[in-house]
Chain A
């Protein structure tokens, strides 16, 4: 690793660790930022590198959320009684139960969506282009409606996740969820980065650029597509599990299988930053979150209009995302060799 890189990563890590202490009032927003970056990073595996515009990653996020909460409750108390009539009975988790439940819940929240992705991947990833996009869009919607009818997870009444136990100070809940989401973000980044440094990424790019040709070259594209989706599902599930605990209340269509918000945001964020790059989704998600929070504060009631304008501006002026735009403007900074004479000739041509 180059010196510069080490400084950069160290700076980010230090900022990440210190953030809740420097900005104590923003812990929840920072945790959500971490979750958003995880979602954008994992969406980029499909949408950016593989060229498969998936609206279905929200399925894994929602699954993870319900599974984590269910395990956390079900390990110690009867789940059906917890959710009955919208939570008539209240059981209180002791601190040990809460953290144990959360640990096992997150484990399940990562593993089950991964398995689901593997199972449905074979049929769904056979579709291409618009058909794939529409099919995955349906996945999220269907999951939302189905889970809204399952009594044991609260159905339409929603599912109140276990409240954070009385340990430490008022700040400890925020810190706990922040560090949890930050750790997941770091893990996701490391995983994605290491995957991108192998042949795997080249295969995904080959699928994006010409799937038939890739197959003709003897690459088992389906295998790679499924593995890619499973990686996404693993981290989406984790993100969902954390988000459920953070929000404290799971609603089938508005919080868990929130396709029209989270499902669309993860696409937007990756495109804003530049899909098909490692840093694009990170920058896109950060900018997006900042803009959104800003619009919410200063354009009350008009925030979605402002967001719409932002999207139009992105599509018109930065169709390749911020990273794409930067790359075009300063190719040498991205390690591309530019022939000065050639560039001059191009400028003169214009």
Chain B
């Protein structure tokens, strides 16, 4: 009986607590434009989540200190509200809802990874909140007819198909045999689709097609097969952990393969963490510091690289660079829209056509950036010092591709 009273008072306390915590502040407060973002600060994407956040923060500071955003004759500054999505799509969708309906955010920056972007996009779309994202590359994001989603990066299926073409070219135009190992997640599976298309296009053969679990810590079984089958190309994709695991185990097991193509080499700081073991790995990248794009805020890739190192004490992976570019896109769109109306900002975003230090940005109807090709770099070592050098496309190549990779016995 009295127990009921306890429960009743408990419920009323809960109601009071909830209603008092509903603080809603608008999208533009004073001279601040508030952007919202759910970022993976913990969980399996935490390292890339931090790269993304660093990229966002650096661009916010840079834009604010260089005059901010001018809308309607007034100057505004960017501010970002972050939440931790724990690398979990369920959490990300909840947080997007929370940013929009509770915090009153009207402009969003993307999370890290395709899976999380897939979970957030339906929410931003429902509320008509423009989202510029820099880390969701899965092609299916751009075929859904989303109107408020804009990605500054090239879609995932374009990451490694060039590598297959390159292998065929080096093989004298003859088809090659390809071993593939991809993590079970939206991004890596999309990279796989791109590679499959390239295999079909070139008449090549897939000899291994392994799906690896998330949080990839062991791929010895796949590598044992690679040793036995001896393919011409080994393709691996599994975010940062996948790249680290692949390099560690390939070196341990002394797996010889003429070409090793991967993703996330720079995010994993391969050349620094694994040094010579990572030598000759061929990596897909959205950006490289030696590319010759320019803008007014970060000047060019080399300057961005130096400034980023000064701030965060490590070389910026492309995940950071593209995240910084997302804010440049937002600034540009706000100024062209000359308004804070969501629809007008959205229309301005759709009409974006600009160059940043990270590359040209122009959105197709689906929201993907169609004006920026991928680059491939190879880890090359001079003594103990290893560096990433662009080898394709030829327009930006600063080194010749080393092919085939010398066998471990000769290294």
Interface residues of A (CB under 8 A from B): 2, 4-5, 7-8, 11-12, 15, 22-29, 32, 85-90, 145, 148-149, 155-158, 160, 163-164, 170, 173-174, 243, 246-249, 251-255, 258, 261, 279, 283, 286, 290, 296-297, 300-301, 303-304, 326, 330, 332-335
Contact = CB atoms under 8 A, between A and B. Distances in A.
Contact of B183 (A24, A156, A334): A156
A22 B84 contact: no
Nearest to B104: A25
Interface in B114-149: 115, 118-119, 122-123, 125-127, 138-140, 143-145
Given A156-B211, A301-B84, A15 B11 contact: yes
17 contacts: A27-B101, A29-B94, A32-B94, A86-B140, A149-B184, A155-B184, A158-B115, A248-B93, A279-B7, A286-B14, A300-B41, A300-B82, A300-B83, A303-B42, A304-B42, A333-B2, A333-B6
Interface stretch (B18-26, B253-261, B265-273, B276-284): B18-26
Interface string B63-105: 0000000000000000000111001111001100110011000
Contact of A296 (B19, B83, B97, B127): B83
Contact of B139 (A86, A174, A252, A332): A86
A49 to B, nearest CB: 19
Contacts, number: 164
Contacts of B1: 2, 4, 333, 335
Considering the complex of A and B, which 10 residue pairs feature the smallest CB-CB distances, nearest first? A156-B184, A86-B140, A333-B2, A249-B119, A87-B140, A248-B122, A8-B4, A25-B102, A28-B97, A148-B184
**Interface residues of B, dominant DSSP:** helix
Contacts of A333: 1-3, 6
A223 B18 CA distance: 43
Contacts of B144: 87, 90, 160
B14 A156 contact: no
Contacts of A25: 22, 24, 101-102
A249 to B, nearest CB: 4
Nearest to A301: B41
Interface residues of B, number: 57
Contacts of A2: 1
B211 to A, nearest CB: 6
B81 to A, nearest CB: 10
A279 B3 CA distance: 10
A88 B144 CA distance: 7
Contacts of A155: 184, 189, 211
